[in-house]
Amino acid sequence: MPFIPHTSQDVSSMLASIGVAEIDALFDEIPAHLKSGSLTALGAGLNEMQVARLMRDRAAQDTPLLNFIGAGAYEHHIPAAVWELATRGEFYSAYTPYQAEASQGTLQVLYEYQTMMASLTGMDVSNASLYDGASGLAEAMLMAVRAHKTSRRILVPATVSPFYRSTARSIVKLQDIELVEIPYDRATGTVDMAALAQHAGTDFAALVIPQPNFFGALEDVDALTNWAHANGGLAIALVNPLSLALLKPAGLWGDNPHPNPLPGGEGTNAALRAPVGADIAVGDGQPLGAPLSSGGSYFGFMCCKQALVRQMPGRIIGRTVDLDGKQGFTLTLQAREQHIRRAKATSNICSNQGLMVTAATIFMSLLGQDGLRRVAAASHQNSQRLAALASGIAGVSVLFNTPTFHETVLQLPKPVAEVLANMANAGILGGYDLSADYPELGNALLVCATETKTEEDLQQFVASLQAAIA
Amino acid sequence: MSIPTELKYTPSHEWIRVEADGSITIGITQHAQELLGDMVYVEAPAVGRSLNAGEECAVVESVKAAADVYAPVSGTVTANNSELDSSPEAINSAPYDAWIFKMQPADASAVASLLDAAAYQAVVDSEAH
Amino acid sequence: MLIFERSHPSRRNAAQAPQAMAAVNIPAALLRKTAPLLPEASEMDVVRHYTNLSQKNFSIDTHFYPLGSCTMKYNPRACNTLAMLPNFLARHPLAPAHTGQGVLACLYDLQEILKEVTGMAGVSLMPMAGAQGEFAGIAMIQAYHASRGDTARTEIIVPDAAHGTNPATAVMCGYKVREIPTNADGDVDLDALRAAVGPQTAGLMLTNPSTLGVFETHIEDIKHIIHDAGGLLYYDGANLNAILGKVKPGDMGFDVIHSNLHKTFATPHGGGGPGAGAVGVAARLLPFLPLPVVAKLPSPTSGRGVGGEGAVEYRYLTEADLPLSIGHLSAFTGNIGVLLRAYIYAKMLGADGMHRVAEFATLNANYLMAELQKVGYRIAFPQRRASHEFIVSCKPLKDATGISAMDVAKRLLDKGYHPPTTYFPMLVPECLLIEPTETESKETLDAFVAAMKEIWDEAHATPDLVKGAPYSQPVRRLDDVKAARELDLTWKA
């Protein structure tokens, strides 16, 4: 029997100990007519050899092409040691570290992870992960509304990923939170500051600030953060963690401290008056060691200023001492969480993405500060090179005149879907077609080249794009 | 355990001291702090906030539990105890000294209808069963 | 020692990153001025550090892990190996469907398998954990009532024995929570339920078997009470392992369910996640399923399906196909890697294996319950059959010896066992919620009983020994109060 070790002798002696004649007797409290019949559709079980054959056949039907799509999921080299270590049974098959003494391995990894993420984002604290970046953005919005106390409106630029906006809306709308779209400047592909200024003096809990934004463009994060704070709202940074090896950390954005105290802020919570910087930083940790995997598993990260820590959702690990004064790690601030606070918890989240975080911690440790910077810089350079090469093609141009991290929008002379289909036939995933989400941009293609791409790859992209347009 | 007779109480385990100027001071009882255990955090209401009787207005948090504190009567918050920010354990060691916030009641007579020590003792006794 | 303390300035792994430091063409005002606090360590330092840390963990692969409500069954290695085949890992989520017919076929098949074993009309695999499955389920209930113009339903009913995620979920979905009590047999108090329902009732969230480890015998009465009031019935699949292959939630009358694939379908818990909380619905909720759902098209439109002539083609259904959907819950498509592992597990079990899961999980739980009762432990509901789990109350032991459930749990670590769930459900004082799962052998259960007997004896003879436990772990009991009062959440150089 697959994964059931019982011999028939075991079964009979166990039944005797219980005092019943057969296993079915153990289900005698269940109304007989509720018991299900056979599972016809499922078929017979496969042994390991058979299921391996099935899965190899299925994997062979997935055809990997040379990939230039980013749009929120990025192809990076993952050092071999990352998943060798993360899939060790001691990490892979452990539960949530509720029994701290027997979970010091997982707990210390998470504490190290929190330290790395807080440093990358320039924030004071980090939680131990959320599901993904998009649902993490929704949690950040809920957290901002809790912290702000008086407003249920969030300003969301159109330069935030449409996938994130859609997900956030699904999650926050049932609590009557309104997402107000802020348009972008058609010349720069960044937030339209004049349009944003029209919201000055209105009631809002937070402004979401993407860096880089969905177009790959770099926003004027200092100005946006200052604007949010000057107008009484929190600043939620939505960041790519890899880019932070190069870019100014969210905790240092802007130079205009919070209004003091926050509107509706509680007296004893006057610490809510954060110094400079975004108040909450979230994003997707996928670039830190998670394979693309058709969309998951990735992980969401969330960091914030110390003053907001009790409003954070998700698990948090703290360092403390044991009975003998020895250093140890444990889950802390659990009174925020659903298993204690129930209906008044900061979120319903329980399971998070622990194994992905374990991989990310190992990934960041192997690359270190220098390696992470090299990966980020090489990705940046490759995407610049790609944009330069592509804009040499007649009829193709770079759409926005703004600095980018590792993605760029190209304007094409033909419908993008058609071009991409032709490129796919040549073995290339040419990018993400923006025409459905941003029809006003016409034939706009979002392309990404990470450090994984060689000069030959870039030339192949250009040749294929040229052929697809011709 | 002894329940101070000079204080008023609620069934939700707040104590209320009526001050000479008619304002009231609110904390949680010895019984409440025993149930919650080692206190790690207190969130008190902002000064100036107007509260209705029975409204949730503060939170006391231990390692394994969190409890809301309710406004005993309607009124306005006049002070909160910022010393609890750094030493929440004062609620464990001296619950009747470690006040959480002060209010000016909207209607002074409402205070009179709160529980006295004997009535609160009965509440505690009934919970033991 | 922390990884940061193994760091040496300017040490780096030349093998892991690009050889050249590329030029950066970004205005200085947007750049960071100081390097992040990331380790500077060699590959071997890092490998040793995390290998050594792994050894400070209990896990299913190393220890019996009878953690109630968590279904810590063996995670078959084939599921991991095959889910990590290179083509599965390499595919971008926005790549066209024709480049992912293999993974989409697996997901479609898994949807069909879950439909069959749960008796529901449709399934979406997208929720990324049990709690997100709950969110999807309650959001669908909300969408269903709203689509009928029935806006008066503002309450979700939750039994007091429920997991904390249930009330937290209801609040996230904008509902008020009404708790109802449990009777002495561990079943829902039907009179209280009747008194609680009304035109304000949107639905009831129920775990069955409940968190008390017993099957809700009045499930059909409950169904009628809720449905007659116009509410919908939500099944929390946390304990689906207890009835897998034996009873289908759909046959019990549930309108919407979630299933924790990281419990029932043997995917790893990974030290906290990722999980997967697939949702299933009755026919009337089909239009509201979270996106995307995988569809199988009999007549391929792209000509790029699988199997040549007469081929089928798989693709995701989107807003255009399901305009009433509650929407997306993740940027892309949930925890695909977890779903693949669950699929492989289901294929290995097949129909017969699926039937046996509940049978042997239940056999193991009832055997363990009988044996622990013989040792002297108080069983919380001795008049009931155990489902796949049961509760021991250490209250009599504590009254007699001063030894609490927590002390027993910590002493078990010294005996080489992960403790059961402690202090949940809160209805039973000093409780241990014990779930052995079907993958443990009789010898393992017997050895666990022997350890519990030793602790029973120690509690009576040398209680201080038990109160000081554990002694064998990397640390002894930790100061949780200090951890919460003096927050130390990041290492500082």
Tell me what percent of chain A is helix, strand and coil, each rounded to the nearest 5: 45, 15, 40
Q: Residues C156-160: what's their mean pLDDT? A: 96
Residue B68 distance to chain A (closest CA, Å): 10
Q: Which residue of B has its CA nearest to A310?
A: B41
Would A6 be classed as within a structural domain? Answer: no
pLDDT given for residue C399 in this prediction: 96
Angle (CA) A443 A449 A451, round 5°:
175
Q: Which residue of A has its CA nearest to B48?
A: A267
The verdict on A46 touching C (C-beta cutoff 8 Å) is yes
Residue type, C354: M
Residue C477 distance to chain B (closest CA, Å): 14
Packing angle of the helix pair C442-461, C405-414 (nearest 10 deg): 120
On whether both A326 and A384 belong to a single domain, the answer is: no
Query: What is the full DSSP assignment across A260-303?
Result: SS-TT--GGGGGG---SS-SEEEEE-TTTT---GGG-S--EEEE
ipTM score of complex? 0.96
Instruction: Please return the burial class of A179, using the count of CB atoms within 10 Å of its CB with bins 0-12, 13-18 and 19+.
Output: middle
Would B85 be classed as within a structural domain? Answer: yes
pLDDT given for residue A268 in this prediction: 31
Would A13 be classed as within a structural domain? Answer: no
Give the confidence band of C13 by pLDDT, cuts at 50, 70, 90. confident
CA gap A424, A412 in Å, rounded:
16
Sequential pLDDT tens for chain A (470 residues): 789 999 999 999 999 999 999 999 999 999 999 988 778 888 999 999 999 999 999 999 999 899 999 999 999 999 999 999 999 999 999 999 999 999 999 999 999 999 999 999 999 999 999 999 999 999 999 999 999 989 999 999 999 999 999 999 999 999 999 999 999 999 999 999 999 999 999 999 999 999 999 999 999 999 999 999 999 999 999 999 999 999 999 999 998 554 444 443 333 333 344 568 999 999 999 999 999 999 999 999 999 999 999 999 999 999 999 999 999 999 999 988 888 888 888 999 999 999 999 999 999 999 999 999 999 999 999 999 999 999 999 999 999 999 999 999 999 999 999 999 999 999 999 999 999 999 999 999 999 999 999 999 999 999 999 999 98
Closest by Cα among A96, A103, A163 to A135: A163
Which alpha helices (DSSP H) does C42-189 contain, by range? 43-54, 77-83, 86-90, 101-118, 130-147, 165-172
On whether both A269 and A182 belong to a single domain, the answer is: yes
From residue B47, alpha-carbon distances to A208, A232, A281, B33, C170 in Å are 30, 20, 30, 24, 32
Q: Residues C50-72: what's their mean pLDDT? A: 97
Would A52 be classed as within a structural domain? Answer: no
Would B41 be classed as within a structural domain? Answer: yes
- Residue A399 near residue C45, CB atoms below 8 Å: no
- Per-residue pLDDT tens over the stretch B22-67: 999 999 999 999 999 999 999 999 999 999 999 999 999 998 888 9
Which of B56, B62, B63 to probe by mutation at the A interface, max A CB count within 10 Å? B63
Residue C305 has pLDDT above 60, yes or no: no
B49 lies in which domain range?
8-115
Closest by Cα among C79, C68, C116 to C242: C68
CA gap C381, A378 in Å, rounded:
63
CA gap A248, C489 in Å, rounded:
22
Residue type, C491: W
CB contact under 8 A, C274 and A118: no
The DSSP letter of residue C283 is G
- Residue B55 near residue B35, CB atoms below 8 Å: no
CB contact under 8 A, C13 and A369: no
Which of C4, C25, C279, C478 to probe by mutation at the A interface, max A CB count within 10 Å? C478
Domain boundary (A329, A361, A393) is at A361
Would A282 be classed as within a structural domain? Answer: yes
Structure tokens belonging to residue C127? 């929720």
Would A18 be classed as within a structural domain? Answer: no
CB contact under 8 A, B41 and C481: no
Query: Residue A452 sits in a domain of what CATH number?
Result: 3.90.1150.10
Neighbours of chain B (3+ CB pairs under 8 A): A, C
Residue A144 distance to chain B (closest CA, Å): 18
CA torsion C236-C238-C239-C244 (nearest 10°) is 90
Tell me what the pLDDT averaged over chain C comes to.
Answer: 95
Structure tokens belonging to residue C280? 């299933």
On whether both A70 and A85 belong to a single domain, the answer is: no
On whether both A420 and A355 belong to a single domain, the answer is: no
CB contact under 8 A, A125 and C490: yes
Residue type, C262: H
pLDDT given for residue C302 in this prediction: 53
- Residue B8 near residue B15, CB atoms below 8 Å: yes
Domain boundary (A315, A331, A361) is at A361
CB contact under 8 A, A67 and C275: no
User: Shortest CB distance from A335 goes to which of B65, B77, B81?
Assistant: B65
On whether both A84 and A200 belong to a single domain, the answer is: yes
Cis preceding linkage at C96, omega within 30: no
Residue B81 distance to chain A (closest CA, Å): 8
- Residue C375 near residue C386, CB atoms below 8 Å: no
Domain count of chain A? 2
Q: Between residues 44 and 73 of chain B, which touch chain C (CB distance below 8 Å)?
A: 61, 63-64
Q: Between residues 296 and 325 of chain A, which touch chain C (CB distance below 8 Å)?
A: 296-299, 306, 309, 315-324
CB contact under 8 A, A340 and B65: yes
CA gap A171, A282 in Å, rounded:
16
Residue type, B96: Y
The verdict on B47 touching A (C-beta cutoff 8 Å) is yes
The verdict on B61 touching A (C-beta cutoff 8 Å) is yes
Query: Residue A127 sits in a domain of what CATH number?
Result: 3.40.640.10
Domain count of chain B? 1
CA gap C428, A363 in Å, rounded:
44
CA gap A166, A169 in Å, rounded:
5
Angle (CA) C259 A134 C265, round 5°:
20
Give the end-to-end CA distance of chain A in Å, rounded to a whole number.
Answer: 60
Structure tokens belonging to residue C276? 């997967």
On whether both A71 and A86 belong to a single domain, the answer is: no
Would A407 be classed as within a structural domain? Answer: yes
On whether both A282 and A376 belong to a single domain, the answer is: no
Closest by Cα among A432, A450, A434, A453 to A442: A434
Query: Residue B53 sits in a domain of what CATH number?
Result: 2.40.50.100
A318: which chain C residues are within 8 Å (Cβ-Cβ)?
483-484, 487-489
Closest by Cα among C181, C206, C184 to C383: C184
Would you identify the CATH topology of the domain C77-347?
Aspartate Aminotransferase; domain 2 (3.40.640)
Closest by Cα among B88, B70, C132, C167 to A341: C167
Which alpha helices (DSSP H) does A182-244 contain, by range? 193-197, 221-230
Give the end-to-end CA distance of chain B in Å, rounded to a whole number.
Answer: 17
b/e per residue, C414-436, with b = 16+ CB within 10 A? bbebbbbbbbbbebbebbbbbbb
Q: Which residue of C has its CA nearest to B84?
A: C485
Domain boundary (A303, A328, A361) is at A361
CA gap C287, C290 in Å, rounded:
9
CA gap C254, A103 in Å, rounded:
37
Would A48 be classed as within a structural domain? Answer: no
CA gap C197, C194 in Å, rounded:
6
User: What is the pairing mode between strands A444-448 and A432-433?
Assistant: antiparallel
Tokens 């190069």 appear where?
A246
CB contact under 8 A, C481 and B63: yes
Q: Residues C240-245: what's their mean pLDDT? A: 93
Q: Between residues 358 and 397 of chain C, which touch chain A (CB distance below 8 Å)?
A: 358-360, 362-364, 366-367, 370-371, 384-386
pLDDT given for residue C308 in this prediction: 52
CB contact under 8 A, B88 and C480: no
User: What is the pairing mode between strands A234-239 and A280-284?
Assistant: parallel
- Under 8 Å CB-to-CB from B128, ≥6 apart: which residues? none
C129: which chain A residues are within 8 Å (Cβ-Cβ)?
131, 349-352
Residue type, A312: M
The verdict on B84 touching A (C-beta cutoff 8 Å) is yes
Would B129 be classed as within a structural domain? Answer: no
Tell me what percent of chain B is helix, strand and coil, each rounded to the nearest 5: 25, 35, 45
Q: Residues C130-155: what's their mean pLDDT? A: 97
Tokens 């990260």 appear where?
A301
Q: What three-state secondary structure class fits A142?
A: helix
Residue B118 distance to chain A (closest CA, Å): 31
pLDDT given for residue A38 in this prediction: 77
pLDDT given for residue A341 in this prediction: 87
- Under 8 Å CB-to-CB from A114, ≥6 apart: which residues? A125, A126, A127, A128, A316, A317, C489, C490
A455 lies in which domain range?
66-75+368-469
Q: Residues C148-176: what's their mean pLDDT? A: 96
- Residue A287 near residue A364, CB atoms below 8 Å: no
Residues composing chain A:
470
Would B126 be classed as within a structural domain? Answer: no
A324 backbone dihedrals φ, ψ, rounded to 5°: -95, 5
Which of A13, A56, A131, A309 to probe by mutation at the C interface, max C CB count within 10 Å? A131
Angle (CA) A111 A115 A121, round 5°:
140
